[in-house]
Amino acid sequence: MNTAESSAVASGLAWFKSSYSGAEGGDCVEVAADTGVVQIRDSKAVAGPVIQVSRKAWAGFVGEA
C-alpha cells in the first residue's frame, strides 16, 4: 500500500462512490482505477491524501466485504 502526498497526481481520474452512499454525501470514500493500482480517497477531502493499492488487493477487499 502506498500513500500519495496529495490527490493532485490522481486528479485526472474518474472517481466513483458507492451507490449506497446516497445523495446527502456523508462519510464516503471514492475509488478510481489507475494503471495497475486502485486509488482511494476521502470524498470530503478530495485534495487530501490518496491511498494506492494493487488491483488484486482491492479485488480481495471487495470480495470479503
Q: Which amino acid appears at position 20 of this protein?
A: Y
Judge whether 52 and 2 are in contact, CB under 8 Å: yes
Q: What is the mean pLDDT of residues 31-43?
A: 90
Tell whether the model's pLDDT for residue 26 goes beyond 90: no
pTM exceeds cut of 0.75: no
Range of the domain at 40: 2-64
Q: How many domains does the chain have?
A: 1
Residue 22: per-residue pLDDT: 65
Least Cα distance to 44 among 64, 14, 65, 24 occurs for: 24
Judge whether 3 and 50 are in contact, CB under 8 Å: yes
